[in-house]
Each structure stands twice: as structure tokens, then as C-alpha cells.
Amino acid sequence: MAEMTTARYPMQPCLNCDYQMDAATPAENDEESEPKEGSVALCMRCGYAMIYGQPPELRFRRPTAEERKDIDQDPVIRRARAVLFLQRKGMLK
């Protein structure tokens, strides 16, 4: 059986808007697409940033004030949020 390259994770809701997220959607622009503890997850619907918890569940938790500061200054996340915003406005497909 061929190896699957897409990792699957238990469905879990966005802590802000309850949007169900079941795939790895790393906001960080790095080589590895596999989320790990401490990685930032960005809700594809509302743009809320969460932190992956401990494996294997990788359950989201809210970022601490400190983490949120870093997240808000991260250029990759800022760009991802800008894209989300434009998508929601119907300005991007």
C-alpha cells in the first residue's frame, strides 16, 4: 500500500468560531506541513490563531498573551490573514 503523504488529524473546532478543521493547515511557511506541538494553526474561516497542543490529539489551545504577540507580528500569518480577509470580501477566489 502506498504511503499517504497527507497526515490526518482528528476533527476539532476552531476555538473562536467552531469551524471544523480536520486537516493540517499550517500557517507557517516552512517545508514541513505536519503540525507539531506549539505550531500555529490558523482558522480558515475567521483567521483566529491557535496553538497545537500535545500529540497525538494536537488539540488546539488558545495562545498565551506572549504567543499572541509573536503571532500578530509574524509576517506569514499577517499575510495569511490578509488573504483570508480578501477571500471573505469576495475579492479573491
Residues near Zn ion, by CB under 5 A: 14, 16-17, 19, 43, 45-46, 48
Instruction: Provide the minimum distance between the beta carbon of 50 and Zn ion in the complex, in angstroms, as a whole number.
Output: 9
SS3 (DSSP) at 71: helix
Q: Which of 33, 32, 67, 29 is nearest to 48 (CA)?
A: 67
Q: From the CB of 92, what's the least distance to Zn ion, in Å?
A: 18
Task: Give the shortest CB-3-to-Zn ion separation in angstroms.
Answer: 31
By beta-carbon proximity to Zn ion, the closer residue of 46 and 76 is 46
Q: Which is nearer to Zn ion, 48 or 60 (CB)?
A: 48
Residue with cell 490573514: 81
Q: Which letter, b or e, does each residue of 11-34 get, where b requires 16 or more Cβ atoms within 10 Å of its Cβ?
A: ebebbeeeeebeebebbbeeeeee
* 32/78 with CB nearer Zn ion: 78
Q: Closest separation between CB of residue 19 and Zn ion, Å?
A: 4
Q: Is 67 exposed, middle or buried (0-12, 13-18, 19+ CB in 10 A)?
A: middle
Cβ proximity to Zn ion, 16 vs 39, nearer residue: 16
